Amino acid sequence: MSLLSTRLRAFTAALALTSCLATPTSANGATPPPTRRPSSPATDCALPGRTGWTDEGHDTDHTRFQRATGTRRVLMLFVDFPDAKATDSTREYAAQLAPAADWMRTASYGRTRLDLTALHRWVRMPATSDSYGFRRGLTFEAHEKYVRDAITAADPYADFSRYDMVYVVPTKAASAISFSPTYLYDPTTPGVTADGTRIKWAVTFGQDMWHWGPKVADHETGHTFGLPDLYSFTGTTHRYVGGWDVMGNIAGPAPQYLGWHSWKLGWTRDAQVACLAAPGRRTVRLTPVERRDGTKIAVLRTGATTAYVAESRRAQGHDADACSRGVLIYKVDSATRTGEGPVQAMNGHPSAKPRAGCTPLDLAAYRPGQHFTDPDNGARIDVLAGDTAGDAVKLSRS
């Protein structure tokens, strides 16, 4: 999994995440009838980013991050080193990552296409593999040098003006290139250029690509769209969202991007978002995020940078191995930094024992008759009903 470099993290604001959440309990009595209230437009629930870098805000700076819709042209380079020379074919490496394109297309409801072009030759890097500093804490400068060296070595064989971003794939012999960070350019520096084009975004894969599989490319490319890491940089790694989004646990059982991310990236339209931005009540029928049509998320805004989101999840599509199904409820804080819990899933079944391959948080989905409350801000989400077509929820804020 990726860690953005030390220099890049310096752009973020060190804001602490505070939350006081009640333990979920089952709803008592009959389900109340829907209460009609004037609905808020979806834009009233769009949160502003407050970290200065990758975050959950909807005001993504597209001079820093690439747009997540349309066709993204990607050049895949294969590199070896004076101390780690490749003896195998580049085609195995390309085949390992190629399924990422289909995965992204499905996850985005067809709105994002990764057009992968492989330069099928080994490009020799000018320095040894262990000289590039690939370890946790990799600096921006060291990472940019690695990208620059790869681009310079490949320049005689490729026209970089034809591509939006670059994947740099090392030989298996280069054990020192261990993990897969994303390169996000710094517009205040000269950066890396080739063929009259600024190289703004790159994923430099490491040996962990053979562990994570092609979804590592979907995770890392998500950073170039402005998405933060949802796993924890400290303590228990997957304590925030478990396996509910590929930006968290890449190998999680339900890796479909959260409905909030789908909205942020432009895959879900404003018309598919139900918003309650002021005190009141609203009943919403949700269709599963694994499907394209219908209302995808119900958002209950609670502050300048905070909201609770409810979405319907089913064991289908990319989530075929989901450990639970129902309504996933999570808190979003667009002022919380990447790796510090900008999204936190609420667990509807905290005492349930997970089966093999699942974690307790993977069982988080709420079922009909359950509700979630946050008494500190008067927020409540009731799950009224659910079937194969989706779920009905009621948002309330006093």
d(CA 200, CA 186): 8
Interval 338-361 mean pLDDT: 96
pLDDT one-digit tens code per residue, 175-216? 999 999 999 999 999 999 999 999 999 999 999 999 999 999
Q: State yes or no: pLDDT of 317 exceeds 80.
A: yes
Residue 180 three-state SS: coil
Least confident of 111-115, 353-357, 378-382: 353-357
Question: What interhelical angle do 99-107 and 215-224 show, nearest 10?
Answer: 60
For the purposes of burial, counting CB atoms within 10 Å of the CB of 37, is it exposed (0-12), middle (13-18) or buried (19 or more)?
A: middle
In whole angstroms, give the CA distance from residue 176 to residue 133.
8
Q: Is 11 helix (H, G, I), strand (E, B) or coil?
A: coil
Q: Which of 352, 249, 343, 254 is nearest to 47 (CA)?
A: 343
44 vs 303: CA distance, rounded Å: 11
Which segments of 116-258 does DSSP mark as H helices, in order? 140-154, 209-212, 215-224
d(CA 175, CA 185): 26
Please state, in angstroms and rounded to a whole number, the distance separating the CA atoms of residues 92 and 106: 23
Largest CA distance in the chain: 72
**115-154 confidence digits (pLDDT tens):** 999 999 999 999 999 999 997 779 999 999 999 999 999 9
Is the pLDDT at 245 greater than 50? The verdict is yes
pLDDT score, position 14: 29
Q: What's the pLDDT score for residue 1?
A: 47
User: What percentage of the chain exceeds 90 in pLDDT?
Assistant: 89
Q: What is the DSSP string of 349-372?
A: -TTPPP-TT--GGGG--B-TTEEE
Average pLDDT, integer, range 70-98: 98
> Phi/psi of residue 258, each to 5°?
-55, 150
Q: What is the pLDDT of residues 287-299, one digit of tens each?
A: 999 999 999 999 9
In this predicted model, what pLDDT tens digit does every residue of 362-379 receive, in sequence order?
Answer: 999 999 999 999 999 999
Residue 88 pLDDT exceeds 80:
yes
* pLDDT at position 36: 43
pLDDT of residue 187: 93
Question: What is the distance of C-alpha 44 from the center of its chain?
Answer: 23
**What mean pLDDT, rounded, does the chain reach?**
91
Report the alpha-carbon distance of residue 174 to residue 301 in Å, rounded.
48
pLDDT at 142: 96
Predicted confidence (pLDDT) at residue 249 exceeds the cutoff of 80: yes
Q: What's the mean pLDDT in 328-337?
A: 98
Where residue 40 falls among pLDDT bands split at 50, 70, 90? confident
Residue 50 makes CB contacts below 8 A (sequence gap 6+) with 13, 15, 57, 305, 334, 335
Q: Which structure tokens are listed for 281?
A: 């009540």
Nearest alpha-carbon partner for 8 in 75, 54, 61? 54
Q: Report the pLDDT value the prediction gives residue 135, as an integer from 0 to 100.
A: 78
For 180-196, b/e burial (b = at least 16 CB within 10 A) is bbbbbbbeeeeebebee
pLDDT the model gives residue 39: 61
pLDDT of 56 > 70? The answer is yes
Whether the predicted pLDDT of 35 surpasses 50: no
Q: How far, in Å, CA of 371 to CA of 393, rounded? A: 9
Residue extents of the structural domains in the chain: 11-60+237-397, 70-224
Give this prediction's pTM.
0.90
Closest CA to 140 of 174, 185, 178: 185
**Residue 246, pLDDT above cutoff 90:** yes
- The whole-number average pLDDT for the span 157-186 is 97
Q: Is 27 helix (H, G, I), strand (E, B) or coil?
A: coil
The pLDDT of residue 59 is 96
- Whether residue 73 is predicted with pLDDT greater than 90 in this model: the reply is yes
17-21, 44-48, 149-153, 190-194: least confident range: 17-21
Contact 345, 328 (CB under 8 A): yes
